[in-house]
Amino acid sequence: MPGTVPVLVLRTAGINCDEEIVHAWRLAGASPTLLHLNELVEHPDRLDEFSIVTIPGGFSYGDDIAAGKILAERIELGLADALKKFVDNGGGVLGVCNGFQVLVKLGLLPGGEFSRDQVTVTYNDSARFEARWVRLEIATDRTPFLNPNLADGVEVDDWLMCIEMPVEHAEGKVVTSSMDVASKLLLNGQVALRYVDDEGEFDTYPANPNGSVLGIAGLCDPTGRIFGLMPHPDRFFDHTQHPQWTRRHSTGAADNGRAKPPEPPDGLRIFQNAVAYWSTHRNR
């Protein structure tokens, strides 16, 4: 059902993953629109046109002060009420990488009973930007971005428990004010994704690339409709984006020994899940 779910992709100074995330949404069958933050702040009502708001990755406002901080401030000072209304009415919010940092700095993630003084995202243990592919365990069934069965009329028996995607960031370490907060997040089902290594451990480097507590790679709010993650699903919408694709996949018979790729790529799946859910759960 192409074009059925209207998605807003927020753009502003330093956001730089808007083009690929628009493409991923389009591939998933949504109808994405790029909008500059300033325009949205001027016309907050425009949020009503959309089912999902996306904050893409990048270095909004240079990540000066802290990653995502200035964009979070601008949203808080200019859009807080409109955004709250949007979410309360059933809208979805997806934050990827810098977008996730923004959602955390805003307090929208993890949200619910947790305050901004309890969860944050800060510098990687390595103190520098790192690019690598990671394995992620899906740790919740709460969010329609990850759980396809939350969409009406969808029943998928074997939805993936483990997915792969790249991380590319310098400030992706999730920190909680105490271990209690971390465990409560897990119990609440608000830990959406965890970095995991081949042995099933969550805290080994580089499988956990930044030292996140409990290997947290993504969080959702108690409703599951606000979802954010450090890894980039928008960089895995095609099989040729996987670092090992030349070992695994082929396009034709002439390519000796290579298997046909599985469908669809893990990143694209997240966008497809959301489209399936919001095409049946209209928020207007």
Partner 1 sequence: MTQRAPAECGLKQIASPNEVELERAAPASVSYWSILIAPRTAQLDSHGREVLADVRQIGLDHVEAVRFCRVYLLGGMLTEQDIRLVANELLADPVAENYVVFAGLSARPDGELRVLEHGLAGGIRPLKPGSAGACAIEVHPLPGVMNPAALSTLDAAQRLLSVRSSKARIAEVQTARRYNVVGARSTDDLEQIAASVLANDCIERWYIRGFGRNDAIPDGFPLPNERPFALRHVPMREMADDQLARLSREGHLFLSLEEMRTIQDYFRRIGREPTDLELETLAQTWSEHCVHKTLKSAIDYHGADFGRPGETSVRFDNLLKDTIAAATHALDRDWCLSVFVDNAGIVTFDDEYGIAFKVETHNHPSAIEPYGGASTGVGGCIRDIMGCGLGAKPIASTDVFCLAPPDFDPAHVPAGVLHPRRVLKGVVRGVRDYGNRMGIPTVNGAIYFDERYLANPLVFCGCVGLIPRKFIHKEPKTGDYVVVAGGRTGRDGIHGATFSSAELTEQHADEFSHAVQIGNAIEEKKLLDAQLLARDHESGCLYSAVTDCGAGGLSSAVGEMGAELGVEVELEKAPLKYVGLRYDEIWISEAQERMVFAVPPDRLEKFLSVFAAEEVEATVIGRFTNDRKLHVRYNGQTVGELDMAFLHDGLPRTVRRASWGLRERHVGGKASDEATKQRSNEDPSRDSSEPRTSVRAESPDPNRDRKGAEQSPIAHRRPAITKSPITRFSTAEFRTRLLNALRHPNIASKEWVIRQYDHEVQGRSVIKPLVGPGFGPSDAAVLRPRYDGCRGIALGCGLCPQWSEIDPYWMAILAIDEALRNIICVGADPDQTAILDNFCWPKCDNEESLGALVRTCVGAKDAAIAYGLPFISGKDSLNNEFTMSPEESRRTGLPQRLAIPPTLLISALGMVPDVRRCVSMDLKQPGNVIVLASAPVNYVGLTEAKRHHDRVSELIRGGAVRSAHDVSDGGLAVAVAEMCIASGLGLDIDAMDQSRDRKGAEPTLPLNKGGLGGVDSAEDHDWNRLDLGTLSSRWFDEIPTTYVLEMTESDARQSGFPVIGRVSASDEAPARVRFVGFAKDSSRPQQIEAVEIAVDELARAWREPLFEGGNT
For binding to partner 1 (CB under 8 A), which residues are involved?
11, 13-14, 16-17, 19-20, 23-24, 36, 38-39, 57-59, 61-66, 69-70, 73-74, 77, 116-120, 122-132, 166, 168, 175-177, 232, 234-235, 237-238, 240-241, 243-244, 246-247, 250-252, 254-257
Nearer to partner 1, 66 or 138 (CB): 66
Nearer to partner 1, 35 or 275 (CB): 35
* Rounded Cα gap, residues 278 and 3, in angstroms: 12
* Rounded Cα gap, residues 83 and 85, in angstroms: 5
In whole angstroms, the minimum distance from the beta carbon of 256 to partner 1 comes to 6
Nearer to partner 1, 54 or 176 (CB): 176
DSSP 36-103: EHHHHHH-GGGGGG-SEEEE--B-GGGG-SSTTHHHHHHHHHHHHHHHHHHHHTT-EEEEETHHHHHH
Nearer to partner 1, 137 or 234 (CB): 234
Instruction: Assess contact for 32 and 275: CB atoms under 8 A.
Output: no
Instruction: Assess contact for 102 and 73: CB atoms under 8 A.
Output: no
Nearer to partner 1, 39 or 113 (CB): 39
Nearer to partner 1, 258 or 281 (CB): 258
Q: Is 141 exposed, middle or buried (0-12, 13-18, 19+ CB in 10 A)?
A: middle
* Rounded Cα gap, residues 66 and 35, in angstroms: 24
In whole angstroms, the minimum distance from the beta carbon of 57 to partner 1 comes to 8
The string over 18-50, giving b where at least 16 C-beta atoms fall within 10 Å of a residue's C-beta and e elsewhere, is: bebbbebbbbbbbebeebebeebeeebeebeeb
Of 180, 182, 192, the residue nearest 217 (C-alpha):
192
In whole angstroms, the minimum distance from the beta carbon of 95 to partner 1 comes to 16
In whole angstroms, the minimum distance from the beta carbon of 195 to partner 1 comes to 16
In whole angstroms, the minimum distance from the beta carbon of 182 to partner 1 comes to 12
Nearer to partner 1, 63 or 266 (CB): 63
Instruction: Kindly state the helix (H) or strand (E) to which residue 251 belongs, with its residue range.
Output: none
In whole angstroms, the minimum distance from the beta carbon of 126 to partner 1 comes to 7
In whole angstroms, the minimum distance from the beta carbon of 97 to partner 1 comes to 10
Of 202, 140, 146, 141, the residue nearest 174 (C-alpha):
202
Instruction: Assess contact for 234 and 57: CB atoms under 8 A.
Output: yes
In whole angstroms, the minimum distance from the beta carbon of 39 to partner 1 comes to 7
Instruction: Assess contact for 108 and 93: CB atoms under 8 A.
Output: yes
Nearer to partner 1, 130 or 197 (CB): 130
